């Protein structure tokens, strides 16, 4: 309002850019590129059924996450497979039995 030239443009002209983005020169040289590394597969769990079909599973984790454009993690972190698919050979009643407790997981703040 004091007579100076206004910033920007007037409608319908496009607005002036207030920010510019361009890639860094040699950005990969300046940063440590790390590819994803997965842990080895854990042991298979026991089958969920003695007969007539059940499931068992195993899992793995991410040992090193990718950084600075490294190769992302590939593949599943858990596998499920059918097991004990055969018919039960007897129809006797069975009492329920629990398997032993697993080891404690890491402490969580929740």
pLDDT per position as a tens digit, 72-109: 999 899 999 999 999 888 766 667 777 888 888 777 65
**Residues facing residue 37 across a β-bridge:** 64
Q: Is there a contact between 77 and 58 (Cβ–Cβ < 8 Å)?
A: no
In this structure, is the dihedral angle defined by the CA atoms of residues 81, 84, 85 and 91, taken in order, positive or negative? negative
> What's the pLDDT score for residue 110?
47
Pairing of strands 78-83, 54-59: antiparallel
- Rounded to an integer, the average pLDDT of 4-15 is 60
Q: Indicate whether 54 pLDDT > 80.
A: yes
């Amino acid at each position: 309002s004091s007579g100076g030239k206004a910033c920007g443009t007037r409608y319908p002209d496009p607005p002036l850019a207030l920010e510019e983005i361009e890639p860094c020169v040699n950005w990969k040289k300046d940063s440590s590129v790390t590819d994803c590394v997965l842990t080895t597969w854990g042991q298979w769990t026991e089958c969920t059924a003695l007969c007539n079909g059940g499931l068992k599973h195993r899992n793995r984790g991410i040992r090193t996450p990718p950084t600075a454009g490294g190769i992302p993690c590939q593949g599943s972190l858990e596998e499920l497979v059918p097991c004990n698919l055969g018919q039960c050979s007897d129809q006797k009643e069975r009492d329920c039995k629990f398997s032993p407790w697993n080891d404690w997981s890491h402490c969580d703040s929740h």
